[in-house]
Amino acid sequence: MSIRHEQKEQRRALILQSALDLFIRKGYGETKVADIAKAADMSMGLLFHYFDSKEKLYEELIRIGCERLKMDFNFINESPLAIFTATAEDLFDMISTNPSAAKMFVLMENAQHLDSLSEDLKEMLTEADKLIKKSIPLIVKGQLLGEIKQGNAEALAVAFWCSIQGIAQYIALHPETPCPNTKWVISILENREVD
């Protein structure tokens, strides 16, 4: 990769990071392009060279967030509890090592409440929101195997995913906070009853 191309990629990443920080602190409506340019230490003209508008910049962040939330739960021979454990470990590792990851959780949650999004973005967010629904069959399988506690599978999925969402949001606002132990979150699902 050429030095010029690398510099362009670094500038683009800086713009995205600056915008992400501002969008979660000030909100989409209160964030101005001038704010983003100032935070990225560049002119508005240079920023517009990378993104045509604040909307396009926001859309790119949503696309990145949706891409990171794509998870496939079609593991035929794996333990459902092991899949949830690995997923939580991966997410907590990502949050611990990359401060932007926690902020993406906040951005994605806030985006769910914006009416002004394009239909394309609304569709992407709907797909990302299906994570709970996609995990229900895996919970049911785990219940049948005795790994996951009995109870309403959808309610268990909500408890699991919302705890991760809440943890990520808290860490985004308080970056010095350590991630909880994965086992604590897994205990929401794990069947601890003794036979």
pLDDT at res. 30: 92
Secondary-structure breakdown of the chain: helix, strand, coil percentages, each rounded to the nearest 5: 70, 0, 30
For residues 157 and 132, the answer to whether their CB atoms sit within 8 Å is: yes
Q: pLDDT tens for residues 17-35?
A: 999 999 988 988 899 999 9
Q: Which helix (H) or strand (E) holds 192?
A: none
Token duo for residue 36: 């983003």
What is the predicted pLDDT for the residue at 71? 65
DSSP letter at 181 equals P
**Residue range 120-174, pLDDT digits in tens:** 877 777 766 688 888 999 999 999 999 999 999 999 999 999 999 999 999 998 8
For tokens 């995205």, name the residue: 16
Query: With 0-12 CB in 10 A as exposed, 13-18 as middle and 19+ as buried, what is 114?
Result: middle
* pLDDT for 194: 46
- Mind giving me the DSSP string for 93-157? HHHHH-HHHHHHHHHHHHHTT-SSS-HHHHHHHHHHHTHHHHHHHHHHHHHHHTSB-SS-HHHHH
- Which pLDDT score is estimated for 65? 84
Predicted pLDDT at 114: 78
Q: How far apart are CA 89 and CA 83, in angstroms?
A: 10
Q: Give the number of other CB atoms < 10 A from CB of residue 67.
A: 10
Cα–Cα distance for residue pair 15/51, rounded to 1 Å:
9
Looking at the DSSP assignment, which residues form a beta bridge with residue 190?
148
Of 70, 72, 50, 74, residue with least CA distance to 60: 50
What's the confidence (pLDDT) of residue 148? 97
What's residue 193's pLDDT?
A: 74
End-to-end CA distance of the chain, in Å? 59
CA–CA separation, 65 and 102 (whole Å): 11
H-run or E-run covering 2: none
- pLDDT score of 105 more than 50: yes
- What's residue 153's pLDDT? 97
* Per-residue pLDDT, 184: 96
pLDDT (average), residues 93-110: 87
Q: What is the pLDDT of residues 61-77, one digit of tens each?
A: 988 887 776 666 665 67
The domains found in the chain, sorted by start residue, are: 1-51 (1.10.10.60), 62-195 (1.10.357)
% of the chain beyond a pLDDT of 90: 54
Mean of pLDDT over the chain: 88
- Tokens 């995913």 belong to 161
- Is the pLDDT assigned to residue 1 strictly greater than 70? no
